[in-house]
Amino acid sequence: MRQRARLAVGTICAALTLTTVGCSNGSPEPGPTSSAPDGGSAECSADLITEAVRQDFDTNYPGSTFVSLDGFRCEGGWATAKAQFEASGSTFPTVVLLRAQDGSWTAVTIEPACRPAQAESGIPASIYAEVCGSD
């Protein structure tokens, strides 16, 4: 069963899907390039992942501030990022789903990405399980 928590903070109007995540790459060291079958690829590095998460927060969650990247994992052109953000004076954990595109990472809205079963989603099984739970 999927675990979800709805979070509304300050000026954040969107719901964030949160799950318990065990990240295999908690260090800021660069990893190999993660490539998807459709040709999207990006280096699995803390710098690129952080840049994508910051951009997602700036664009989609006005009034919130990126605090830290706590861990990340990449596989098959997809990544999860465990991060902290601040809003209204409090810090909150979140998980961001990312997809490789043209050498960088782009945040993907979790809810629609998790709607289809894993086999139809195109998301690698381990990434899908971290972000979406089981089918």
Task: Over range 80-105, report the average pLDDT.
Answer: 95
Does some domain include residue 13?
A: no
Please report the pLDDT score of residue 116 as a whole number: 94
Domain span including residue 62: 33-132
Name the domain count of the chain. Answer: 1
Q: Provide the whole-model pTM.
A: 0.72
Please report the pLDDT score of residue 35 as a whole number: 59
Distance CA 28, CA 70 (A): 9
Does some domain include residue 14?
A: no
Write a three-state SS string for 26-55: CCCCCCCEEECCCCCEEECCHHHHHHHHHH
Mean pLDDT value across the chain: 77
For the stretch 48-90, pLDDT in tens is 999 999 999 999 989 999 999 999 999 999 999 999 999 999 9
